[in-house]
Structure 1
């Protein structure tokens, strides 16, 4: 009943480790810039970083949430809502060749039946 023990008795692992495992005596945990950083330096503080950071627009705008809550300024003052040249908000605004194709009745029935209607 102990077939597994019998099979594993002569097993030799394929991986071999060289030497004893050792941990380094000292590890440097001081912050440093990422090797691919374009500036190769860290920001002076989080506040100075936040002044220059962008996430869906500048983070340092002084209207909207910080000056009295949501709705403190009209939406029109936040900027244009038209998509720029070459940008589209929805697929239906694209040229006809890029728009969604309409489904045929046969395709709808095939999806609803799980494909079984194709093999009658």
Structure 2
């Protein structure tokens, strides 16, 4: 057993993947954050609010009414129930509810 450990330690491991081009060090977190997006840009100028907190980016940095209307555009809906009834979700039957609750055991005859 000891001999195999010594042999394994003596072997040089060659990676199976080869990278093309020069290796560049990663950017700083501040540089990353200035380019990152999560529900809108994360970077930008910091704005102090009246409560003393600092907000970043476009989301949360201004009042909601200044963002514009929240009504759906022509041909868009926010809820499936705003569509014609044929597109609504169908109601579960009692048999389907029993099958789910029992884990399907009641369906086996």
TM-score (ref. length: structure 2): 0.46
Q: Which has the larger radius of gyration?
A: 1
TM-score (ref. length: structure 1): 0.43
Structure with bigger RCO (C-alpha 8 Å, 6+ apart)? 2
- Relative to its length, the structure with more helix (as a share) is 2
